[in-house]
Every structure is written in C-alpha cells, then in structure tokens.
Structure 1
C-alpha cells in the first residue's frame, strides 16, 4: 500500500503475479471495509508516512503480518527513474513477497502517545527560544547594554527590561513577545505535567534518572524514541538506532575512514542526550573523566558526542539488566525524583522535610562528591593503563623498561 493523506494505492502479489487492486480511502471506515476483504494469512506492506502507524493498527487484527517499510533501506523506490503511486505499490508488494522488505518497529499505543507529547514539547521549546532571541534582537538593534541579571525573562530581568528606553513600536514588540513567551511557558508546563504523570511510576524512567545529567524529560524523550530496549540485542545497536555512531568508509585494502556521526533516528532524543552530556560534566564521575580524556586528543565537540554515546550504552545496560547506575549520587537521584513528582502535580511540602531534602545538606553533598571523584580517578587510571587483549596464540610484546604497568592487561 502506497499511502497518502486521502487514499492508498494497493497492489497485490499472488502466485507470482502482480495486479493492481486500485485505490482505497485513508479514512477509518474505508480502511475497515478494505480490511474485511483480506484473508487471515495475508501480509501487508505499508509505505512509511505520517499516518502509516494508524493504518497498521487498523489492519493488524485482520491479517497475519503488517510491515512498515524502512525507507532508509528501501532504495528501490527512492532511486527509481519512473516513480508513480502504482509503481511504488508494485515494488512494495514484490519486495514483501520475496521477503526482501526491511521493516520498522511498530510501537504500542503508550509509546506513540509519548512520541506525540515529546514532539509537541520540542516544538514548544523551539518556539520559546525563538521568542527569546527576538527580544534579544530588539535590545541589540537599539544598542542597549547586556542585562545585569542571568535570566532576562525572570522577575528581575523583566523589571530591568521595563525601565529601558525604547521607541514606541519596539516597546509594543517587546510586550507582545513577552505575552507569547508566557503562553509558551504555560503550554510547556501543561505538556510536561502530562509526561511527568505518565512517567512517575515507570521503572525505566526512574532507572535512567540515576545516570548523571539525565533528568525526567530526557529519560522520557529517550524512552519515547526507543520504546522497548530489549528489542536491541546489544548497546551498539541502540547507539546506531539513535545515530550516535560514526560513519565508516572502507573499500578494498585501504584503511577505514571514520567520519561524523550518522545522525540517523530520532533527532529529539539525540539532542537531549547531548544536553545530558553537557550536564554530566558539571559533576565528578567516570563520564567527566571520559570527556577530559577524549577532549585532550580530539577536541570539545567530539568529546561531548562520545559522552552522549556512553550515556546511551549505560542506559541500555541498566534497562536490560534491571540495575541502577553504580556511581549514582543518592541525594541527587532523590532530588530529581522529587522534581518529577512536583511536575506531575504532587503537593508541595512547605517547611516539611520530604524525599529529596537531603540534597540541601552541604556536608552530605560533599561526601557524595568525594566518592564520585574517587570513581573518576579510578576510571582515569583504568583508561590510562588499558591495553588491548592479545589474540589467542599471539606473541607477547616486549615490555618497556621502567614502566609501572608492564604486567597490566585490562579488558574493560
């Protein structure tokens, strides 16, 4: 089925013969009527479009299998010289009949809901950033100084902004932009409340929040993009799914060339992981040691992406093995969980100690930071003395005299 917004072009392969079924309306009633004509042993292939998941949900109960075509791998359609709806439907049917059609994972209803809400949240965040940039542009073109506060759009920042001398039209522009900013803020709080309420009792979200730099919204966005972590047989496959693995070019006897990351998959989740990597650098731990080691050799940007990739690998191991992060700071994790509860609408405890209050204890925070710093130093020593494990039967290389790590062979 070559799907469009109003109709779908259908082709059928039966006994090796390809025939055109015609067009089917892309409305629930028309699709249910079409599904009633299918047999329980039929297989259906769909073109990956915005409404493909909804069509698949309607057809699944009536057929043996529904495959949503992976357009990245289905190059026969994208590179065809003659491309029409009828040709696309025929190609999909023939590839499915030959079992050569790579499909995509069909998420469940909760995952689809999380994807819609996280996508809406990302649009609201972009809109809020755009409005803030427009206000800064007004200040710049009127040669006003930088605001003396860290947050121009907070209470003190808006008070400073109200006392600046601006032309009448520019003042109206700033007032209108601030109204838009308040609207985006209210909508963003509403969406985050719905996401927090859904993620409050989710064990995957709570486990991901034990990783430094990963807050509730980052965990929810990653969960919405990935869905079921167990469908990936290794952490490297999850890294490739999120587009954090480097591109590789190699042919013949030449050495492989590794380039930039592929940026495949969900861009929202990848961006949130990069933001989590920046946040993880503000606290001691193995992730900060990894960043410092790679930054010294490859630069800041490569190191940040490497930390984001490492967070993805850790997330896969934690979820699949049902474990919390070994170097998590308990008071910080409790603080993040309390923020999640408040975002979901929990009652605030005024003048009462509750979950997450220990994060305000400076002495406890100092002790936890010392433990994290010790883990950071241990990782730095491990990485500095790491040696590749020799293949079975390979001769041992001569040791360098005077080194303390002559007999150290780490395989971590």
Structure 2
C-alpha cells in the first residue's frame, strides 16, 4: 500500500476467490490497484473493479524496472509497480470489456480445437508415409477417403490406430462446427463484423478473430498503430548517424489474428480488385509469401478505416457479399428457403455477377496504372 510516496502497509493476499473477495471488500472506494497481466489477471480485475476507483493492468514486458531488477521478489515487484504508477510511468494494458473477453475465449477455444484437428490428421498421414502408401487422389478425410483408409494393407495395430484417429476426427470436427456456428451467430448480430465481411477474403471467423483482438478501435489512433499491434510492421534497427535497417515483421501481438489476416490475404488474391493488383505487384517483386504478409498489412489498414468510419469496403460487390452473408446465416442455423429468391440470389445471375466483376476489375486496372505512373515519374520528381 503506497500513500503519499511511502509504503504504509504490506500483506500477502491468497488468490482464492472467497478470500480474495474479502480483501477486495476491505479496500476504499478511492484506491487505485495495480496488477500485472497474467493468466488470471482478468478474474482479479473483475473482482476488484466494483470496490475501487480504478484497476490498472501493467504490461510486465515493458516494465523494465522489474525485468532488469537484480533483486526480484513479489514484495519488490509490488513496490516498484506502485511507485511507477504513482509517477505516471507505468505501461498499461487495455482492459477488455466483457463481450470482448467472451469472444476472445471462444476464439482461443476454436484455435485449440483446430490445432487438435490438424495434429490428428498429421498422425494419420504419418502412418501412411511410414508404410510407403501413395497420396490419395481426393479428399482423404471425406466418406470415400475413409473407405479407402479402411481397405489399406496395414498391420492390425496400425489399422486400429487409424480407426481411433478417424473417430477422434469426427468428434473434434463436430466441436469445431459448433464453435463456428456460435461465431457465425455473433457476426450476424455485430454491425462491425458485417462491415468487415464486405472485404474479399474476410469470413465470419476472420472477422470475429480480428474484433476479439482489437476490442475498441478507438484505442488505435492510426492504422500504423493497429499494424504494429498485429506484429505486421518491419523491425527497424538504427545506431548513430547510420541509416536505419528494416528487417522482417516483428510478429508481436495476437498471433491468431495475424494468421487469420494472412489467410484472408491469400483469399483476396483470387478476387478481382485493388487487393489482387497489390498482391500481384508485390509477388512479382518479392515472391508470394512476402506478398501475403504485405497484403495482410494492407488489409489491416483497410480494417482500421472501415471500423473508424463505420462504412463498408468501397469496392465490395453487393451480390457476392449477400451470398457470403447467406452462407454465414446457414452456418448459424438458419433454415434453407427452397424455391424462394433471397438476397444472395443475384450472385447466381450471370449478368449481375459479370457487371460487378467488371466494376472491381476497372478499379484493379486503375491501381495498376497508378503504380506504373509512380515508376515513370518518381514521387520526389513530382514534388520538384
């Protein structure tokens, strides 16, 4: 307890809910509490919030006084945190609201289920590779692929292992479908997610992952800040008067959101429009992987503008977006309407689909002409 620059009291609090709640009730309404960002920091912040003036969550990685301390203990760390906060020098972590916390937990659970699904498929592939079995021509984990697996000339124990792995795939796939259904329902009820899905390559899962990571877009004053938050900005090293050196991206921040943005960039490559032109330009110069990362950063800038201005993507195709949203509705559990033309029906009318494709292709050509003008007349020459 720090009061007027002096430590007036020290005590250790047990992180057991009932006992910690009694401690929170003993605090004053004008107290400010500092905690470190840890695995149970969210629960601690929630319990403290109603009883004190403010709960500050500190970024332990940036608290250099703690990271570099020669003497490090809970008592020393607590005193250092209190003094840094009193002096206005404490690097804080944004405290997410309840809806964002729920969405983050859902995304974390989905990523765990997806990783388990990938591991199980990899184990089946490893057994096939160890027995010199060639690659199956089709969807290995579909109905026909599973029949093919059951007829392979394998040892009894390996056949039993594949059977267990196939059963595990069915169980995990059902969990993943249930989580995707929940995320689809949330996306349909969130205007921010609906706006993000007007961007090519951004699905309900991608939109939910990005929104779970961002929370409140107003805490990022510029799109560069958001790109840095996702770890999509290059490392910069500079010493003295020497020119700065730019390296690979920092890969700091939420890795799940960054991975989703890169996947969305690969999908955006296939859709006509300025994003595809940008991807192709970088690909011709530095290769496809670098183009995917650069396009992911471009997507981040677009996301910042879309969420900040509360407007849809400028080059969205209405019929394609309606068809995408209809698929999200079906994933969320909406009934199929046979014989009834819904909002996504226009996409299957060739004239409408071609007209929208021509519109975004003209935007793509305009971007290419703009880049060509840059090469013919550099920016500094234009300024002169």
Distance in 2 between residues matched to 1:382 and 1:299, nearest whole Å? 21
What residue in structure 1 maps to residue 305 of structure 2? 317
Structure 2 gaps, min length 5: none
Q: State the SS of the aligned residue for 2:248.
A: strand
What residue in structure 1 maps to residue 344 of structure 2? 356
What residue in structure 2 maps to residue 225 of structure 1? 213
The residue correspondences of 1:59-98 to structure 2 (distance < 5 A) are 59-98=48-87
Q: State the SS of the aligned residue for 1:25.
A: coil
The answer to whether the aligner puts 1:169 opposite 2:157 as a matched pair is yes
What residue in structure 2 maps to residue 158 of structure 1? 146
In 2 relative to 1, CA 20–297 (structure 1 residues): closer, same or farther, beyond 3 Å?
farther
Deviation of 1:383 (Å): 2.2
Deviation of 1:162 (Å): 2.4
Check whether the contact 2:183–2:204 (CA below 8 A) recurs between aligned residues.
no
In 2 relative to 1, CA 396–44 (structure 1 residues): closer, same or farther, beyond 3 Å?
closer
What residue in structure 1 maps to residue 324 of structure 2? 336
Structure in which a larger fraction of residues adopt helix: 2
Deviation of 1:350 (Å): 3.1
What residue in structure 2 maps to residue 401 of structure 1? none
What residue in structure 2 maps to residue 194 of structure 1? 182
In 2 relative to 1, CA 143–249 (structure 1 residues): closer, same or farther, beyond 3 Å?
same
What residue in structure 1 maps to residue 21 of structure 2? 32
- Which of 35, 40, 50 is residue 46 of structure 1 equivalent to? 35
Distance in 2 between residues matched to 1:88 and 1:388, nearest whole Å? 53
Deviation of 1:19 (Å): 4.5
Runs of 4+ in 1 over 4 A off after TM superposition: 387-390, 394-397
Distance in 2 between residues matched to 1:237 and 1:199, nearest whole Å? 25
String of CA shifts for 1:286-341, please: whole Å, max 9, x gaps.
11111111222222222111100011110110111111111112122112211211
What residue in structure 1 maps to residue 295 of structure 2? 307
How high is the TM-score relative to the length of structure 2?
0.95
String of CA shifts for 1:129-162, please: whole Å, max 9, x gaps.
111111111111111121111x211122222222
Check whether the contact 1:332–1:356 (CA below 8 A) recurs between aligned residues.
yes
What residue in structure 2 maps to residue 248 of structure 1? 236
What residue in structure 2 maps to residue 119 of structure 1? 108
Return 259-268 or 381-390, whichever deviates more: 381-390
How high is the TM-score relative to the length of structure 1?
0.89
Check whether the contact 1:20–1:86 (CA below 8 A) recurs between aligned residues.
no
In 2 relative to 1, CA 301–39 (structure 1 residues): closer, same or farther, beyond 3 Å?
same
Q: State the SS of the aligned residue for 2:57.
A: strand
Between the two proteins, the alignment pairs up a number of residues equal to 382
Q: State the SS of the aligned residue for 1:81.
A: coil
Check whether the contact 1:216–1:336 (CA below 8 A) recurs between aligned residues.
no
- Which of 256, 259, 268 is residue 268 of structure 1 equivalent to? 256
Kindly report the root-mean-square deviation, in angstroms, between the aligned alpha carbons of the 2 structures: 1.8
- Which of 272, 275, 285 is residue 287 of structure 1 equivalent to? 275
